Amino acid sequence: MNKHLSLRSGNPALHKNTFKGLETTGDDTMTIDGTVNKTSIALILLLLSSYYTYSTSNTGFIFIGLITGIVLAIATIIKKTWSPITVPLYAICEGLALGGISAIYESMYTGIVQQAIFLTLGIFTALLFAYKTKIIKATENFKLGVFAATGGIAIVYFISFIMSFWGGGLSIMNIQNASMMSIGFSVFVVIIAALNLVLDFDFIEEASEMGVPKYMEWYATFGLLITLIWLYLEILRLLAKLQSRRN
C-alpha cells in the first residue's frame, strides 16, 4: 500500500504527472542514494560558479545566468531524459546568477550572505532530519496547505512583477521596507519555501518506490535546486529587511 497520499507540491518541477508514463528498462532505476549523490554534485557546481561571480563581484552574469537557467529549466521539464545534461548546466547558470545577486546584497549589508548560506543549509538539514524521523509527515492536509500557500505567494510575486512595469511593485517585496507587515510576509514566505522541501523529499521517496528511470535522479535534483534557490533568496530578502530595520 502506497503511504504517500497524493502527488501534490508547490514546486513547478514536481507535480502529480511528473513520474507518470515513464518507461523503465531493466534494474536501472532511481534510488534515494543516487539522488543524494546527484544533488551533492549539483550543489558543488552551483557553489563553485556562484563563488566565482561573488568573489569577482561580476554582476554582469546575473542576467546571463537567469535567462540561460530559465531556458535550461524549461528544456528539463519538457524533456526529462535530458536532465543528466541540463541539470548540471542549470546548477552552473543559477550559481552565476546567485553569486552576482549575493555580491549586491553583501555590498549593502556586510555578512548577510554568510548568514543566508548557513541558514539555508541549516533549514535543509533540519527538515530532512525531521522528515526521515517522521517528526514532520507529509499528510494530505499538510500538502494541501503548503500547496495553497505557495500558490498564494506566486500570485503576490506575479502582481508585484506586473506592477514593476509601471516603475513600482508591492512594497512588501522591497528589501528596504522594514515594516512589521513586510518582515512578517518574508517570514511567512521563508516558512512556506522551507516546508516545500518536505514535499520534495516525499516526491523523491515516492519516485524511488515507483521504480522510475535512473535519469529521474537528476530531475529530482532539479526540483530540490528550485526550492533551495527560492529559500536562499527569500532568506536574503528577510535578512536585508531586518538589517534595514536596525539601521
CA-to-CA distance for 88 and 98, rounded, in angstroms? Answer: 15
- What local confidence, expressed as pLDDT, does residue 46 receive? 97
Nearest to 235 by CA among 115, 69, 81, 155: 115
Q: What local confidence, expressed as pLDDT, does residue 1 receive?
A: 39
Distance (Å, whole) CA 4 – CA 146: 16
Quick check: 118 and 232 in contact, CB under 8 A? no
Strand-pairing partners, residue 213, are 29
Smallest CA-to-CA distance from 153 within 230, 223, 206 is with 230
What is the gyration radius of the CA atoms in the chain, in angstroms?
A: 18
Q: Distance between CA 86 and CA 162 in Å, rounded?
A: 29
Q: For every one of its 247 residues, what pLDDT tens digit does the chain have, with 9 covering 90 and above?
A: 345 545 455 566 665 556 565 655 556 888 889 999 999 999 999 999 999 999 998 898 999 999 999 999 999 999 999 999 999 999 999 999 999 999 999 999 999 999 999 999 999 999 999 999 989 888 888 989 998 999 999 999 999 888 887 777 788 888 888 899 999 999 999 999 999 999 999 988 888 888 788 999 999 999 999 999 999 999 999 999 999 877 6
The residue to which cell 518506490 is assigned: 209
CB 128 within 8 Å of CB 201 = yes
Write down the pLDDT at residue 12.
62
Q: Identify whether the C-beta of residue 66 lies closer than 8 Å to the C-beta of residue 59.
A: no
Q: How far does Cα 46 stand from its chain's mean position?
A: 12
The rounded distance, in Å, linking the Cα atoms of 59 and 56 is: 9
Question: Hey, what long-range contacts does 170-174 have (CB within 8 A, 24 or more apart)?
Answer: 173/237
What whole-number distance in Å separates Cα of residue 192 and Cα of residue 186? 10
Residue type, 108: M
Q: According to the model, what pLDDT value does residue 110 have? A: 92
Instruction: With CA atoms as reference, report the closest residue to 147 among 225, 207, 187, 200.
Output: 200
Distance CA 21, CA 103 (A): 43
Q: What is the pLDDT of residue 121?
A: 94
Angle at which helix 32-56 crosses helix 216-246, to 10 degrees, equals 40
